Amino acid sequence: MDYQELMDKAIEAAKNSYSPYSKFAVGACLLTENGKTYSGCNFENSSFGLTICAERNAVGSAIADGERKIKAIAIYSPNQKHCYPCGACRQVLNEFKSDSGLDVITEGDTDLEIAPISFLLPEGFNL
């Protein structure tokens, strides 16, 4: 599974976004150490604070399937180039990074950008 394939799945997932309030669609697809992929999209609520981000939706599916080590996640929004994860999602991704780290992949005009979670969340909280 190369990173462009992962991004293609994130693009597909964004099509299922339920975002009638913000009109900001997001899709994500993550890759685990076991080579499995899990997609997610954001889904909003009329009680706005209940919104779930695409990244955490994908992480939840992976966890529910018994996966614990995430190697990479691609994130896509048709509304914005380089759609980076919010702070809450960075902390959640940090929890499940693989032993070799976790690459966050975003899409620009021409190429994919890869940023390690350790760069996006230095000194993340750990117990």
Q: Which positions touch ligand THU (CB under 6 A)?
A: 19, 22, 24, 26, 42, 44, 51, 53-55, 85-86, 89
Based on the number of CB atoms within 10 Å of its own CB, is 21 exposed (0-12), middle (13-18) or buried (19 or more)? exposed
Please, what is the minimum distance in Å from the beta carbon of residue 109 to ligand THU? 20
Q: Residue 106 contacts by C-beta under 8 Å, 6 or more apart in sequence?
A: 74, 75, 76, 81, 82, 83, 84, 112, 113, 115
Q: Which is nearer to ligand THU, 3 or 24 (CB)?
A: 24
Q: Which is nearer to ligand THU, 34 or 118 (CB)?
A: 118
Please, what is the minimum distance in Å from the beta carbon of residue 111 to ligand THU? 21
